[in-house]
Structure 1
Amino acid sequence: MKLIRKITFPFVPIYYAVTSLRNKLYDLGIKKSMSYDFPIICVGNLSVGGTGKTPMVEYLIRLLKNNYRVATLSRGYKRKTKGFYLADETSTVNTLGDEPFQFFDKFKNDIIVAVDANRNNGIDNLRKLANPPEVILLDDAFQHRKVKAGFNILLTTYSNLYTDDVVLPTGNLREPKNGAKRADIIVVTKCPKSIRESEKTKIIKKLNIENDQHVFFSFIEYVEEVISFERHINLIDLKDFTLVTGIANANTLVEFLKDKKLNFNHLNFGDHHDFTETQIKDLETNSLIVTTEKDFMRLKHFKSLESKLYYLPIVIGLDDEPKFNKLIKDFVTS
């Protein structure tokens, strides 16, 4: 993979030029962005892969759901449906996609969950509902510039800041680094809890933010138990198990479990992996399976795994949570 990326380096200037031109056309108003007169918050990144968008959207849901009618709108990656789709009791991973289904499975009594690759069409359909949302959270839509969100939250990982990366196909950036200037908040995710203020200062300087931008540092907090269908096991009581992951980067999870001195075998699949019948049969031979919450949404419908399948929940912590919350609430109320 690294060799292929090095070989494709001559295409980097082409990709850079095309994406830069596209952004410039939007900045000049030649390509049109739609603005809206109600709060829309976009959560996204510059890079491909796991920067922690799903935990951030869930954080915003918890922050706002008690005071506003909140909707999430995602593309619905790898779903089997087309166009606008509104989640209901018949929805599955196949109709929604894994991340939107996770939102619905966890918050279905509190929020509206919808998917549409055309975010403008999705917003229009949500606003036509009999009881429309008051706030819409756009999941992974930073590059979807046909919508001009009122507030943009950009995520970048501590271990791979966008300032240290280059655009596709050699690097991981979907667009040039200066796209970060569209963000209102930049969150450096997956930081060590022990990160020092001096290191934060260096990172903020490296990000070269605008005067009106805010930077926060977040870290992952794992719950001290794994959860299944109304069943819980404390981590300290886990014996030998198989860890199954189908996410962009499982390193943080693996290191956490190793630090707990747990004995496990790791089966690592690609992001948004569709499990085959053969792979499910192989998983059936394991006595205990621990996975991520996103992967649990894809696997829990296999009855043969029901008695042995658990997931490890995560939440995010922020270095200055009151300030972050105030910025979000001030935007929504304004």
Structure 2
Amino acid sequence: MSSLLTLLLLPLSWLYAGVMAVRNVLYRIGLKPSVRFPEVTVINVGNLRVGGTGKTPHVAWVVNWLRSQAQHPALLSRGYGRRTRGYRWATTEDTAATIGDESLQQFRHFGGEVPVVVSEDRVAGIRQLLHDEPATTAVVLDDAYQHRRVRPQVNILLTEQERPFYDDFVLPAGRLRESRRGAVRADVVIVTKCPPFLSATIRQEITRRIQRYAQPAVPVLFSCYHYGVAVPLTAKAPAELGGDIVVLTGIARPEPLLEHLRTAGYRVVHHVRFPDHHAFTQPELEQLAAQLGPGQCVVTTQKDAARLLEPALAPLVAALPVLYIPIEVRFLADGEARLAELLAPYFQPHAVV
């Protein structure tokens, strides 16, 4: 967005930010009610900015850590992009259309061993989840930082290193859902998508700028993506990725994936790019197939792979050599230990946090 357009839109941003500020005050003083669930630990992973900040792999990290501590976590999100309504418990019969692409990705990632639930009403969703699965000890909320009706015990705020919230403006001049001061509700801030060897000097400067808006004692951690070995999605795909590739994405920011592929030595001959959560269509896949040269493969993300598995697309997708690149979160310096230290007291017997 140009500087001139940003300036022209700032009055609308101030108005929107004011409305959100009043809303937050009403929740803080109790005129708008929020619900706490003392019988279970609720952990929210969210952001201030519209667009991808890496929530899905960070949610997966939290769930994996909980399982390593012998806890029984469940995942709850609104199921963005789904075509259904109400409370829904993910099963093997579900698709991205019924529970959303991110929820489907998580369900498949954990092999159905972790309950994944979608519900627009998070309060009702948590209550129903605890009724359906009373052994649940932790509920991980995906993208509920602005959903003030639920009061989590732990609020994890994510912000990208290249697009930090403190350099952004509220919609429509920028991409923030609320003002930068919303960071004050965070119990920990994680700066995501960092280079693996981000210097201590840069980390200190970023921390200083974040702490202008967050609580002074709040930990600021740094994470990066670790890309795994390409996984065949279809029978036509080779066992290993090689040669020239066509990249297919429908995510907010495909640039880190493209950089990884190029650094790894692959030649990206074409990038077919769609908006975040894009629902692929048959004509789009037919056009993709026509663009493939001899020996070329289609490389996509794990999130996009979930949407490619829609039943209506099955014949077209099955005819394509498609692989997806899994990712996981890794922390810089002592970030992993510090996050575990923050979470651990909530799961110690008789602890009062």
Structure 2 distance, partners of 1:295, 1:281, is: 17
Cα pair 1:40 1:136 within 8 Å, conserved: yes
Structure 1 distance, partners of 2:55, 2:116, is: 16
Q: SS where residue 340 of structure 2 aligns? A: helix
Aligned to 2:243: 239
| Stretch deviating more after TM superposition (204-213 or 10-19) | 204-213
Structure 1 distance, partners of 2:88, 2:324, is: 27
Matches within 5 A, 1:68-217: 68-208=71-211, 209-217=214-222
CA displacement, residues 287-329 of structure 1 (integer Å, 9 cap, x when unaligned):
5210000000001342322241110111110122122122222
Structure 2 distance, partners of 1:260, 1:150, is: 40
Aligned to 2:300: 291
Aligned to 1:34: 35
Unaligned runs of 5+ in 2: none
Q: 2:62 aligns with which of 53, 60, 65?
A: 60
Q: Tell me whether 1:305 sits opposite 2:317 in the alignment.
A: yes
Q: Quick one: structure 1 residues 70 and 45, their matched pair in 2 at CA, closer, same or farther if it must change by over 3 Å?
A: same
Aligned to 1:323: 338
Structure 2 distance, partners of 1:273, 1:64, is: 31
Cα pair 1:39 1:331 within 8 Å, conserved: yes
Structure 1 distance, partners of 2:88, 2:5, is: 37
The one-letter code of the counterpart of 1:275 is F
Structure 2 distance, partners of 1:233, 1:215, is: 40
Matches within 5 A, 1:4-43: 7-37=8-38, 38-43=40-45
Structure 1 distance, partners of 2:239, 2:266, is: 13
Q: SS where residue 115 of structure 2 aligns? A: strand
Structure 1 distance, partners of 2:287, 2:5, is: 31
TM-score normalised by length of structure 1: 0.94
| Stretch deviating more after TM superposition (189-198 or 122-131) | 122-131
Structure 2 distance, partners of 1:169, 1:290, is: 33
1:261 deviates by 2.9
Q: Tell me whether 1:45 sits opposite 2:54 in the alignment.
A: no
1:143 deviates by 0.3
Identical pairs, percent: 36
Cα pair 1:65 1:110 within 8 Å, conserved: no
> How well do the aligned residues superpose, as a CA RMSD in angstroms?
1.8
Cα pair 1:191 1:218 within 8 Å, conserved: yes
1:69 deviates by 1.6
Structure 2 distance, partners of 1:232, 1:215, is: 41
Cα pair 2:282 2:316 within 8 Å, conserved: no
The one-letter code of the counterpart of 1:305 is V
Q: SS where residue 8 of structure 1 aligns? A: helix
1:132 deviates by 4.2
TM-score normalised by length of structure 2: 0.89
Cα pair 1:225 1:232 within 8 Å, conserved: no
Cα pair 2:238 2:321 within 8 Å, conserved: no
Unaligned runs of 5+ in 1: none
CA displacement, residues 219-260 of structure 1 (integer Å, 9 cap, x when unaligned):
01111434325876444xx11121001001111111111222
Cα pair 2:33 2:149 within 8 Å, conserved: yes
1:134 deviates by 1.3
Q: SS where residue 275 of structure 1 aligns? A: coil
The one-letter code of the counterpart of 2:29 is L
Q: Quick one: structure 1 residues 260 and 89, their matched pair in 2 at CA, closer, same or farther if it must change by over 3 Å?
A: closer
Q: SS where residue 35 of structure 1 aligns? A: coil
Cα pair 1:247 1:271 within 8 Å, conserved: yes
| Stretch deviating more after TM superposition (156-165 or 320-329) | 320-329
Cα pair 1:226 1:232 within 8 Å, conserved: no
Q: 1:251 aligns with which of 232, 252, 255?
A: 255
Cα pair 1:242 1:289 within 8 Å, conserved: yes
Structure 1 distance, partners of 2:347, 2:238, is: 37
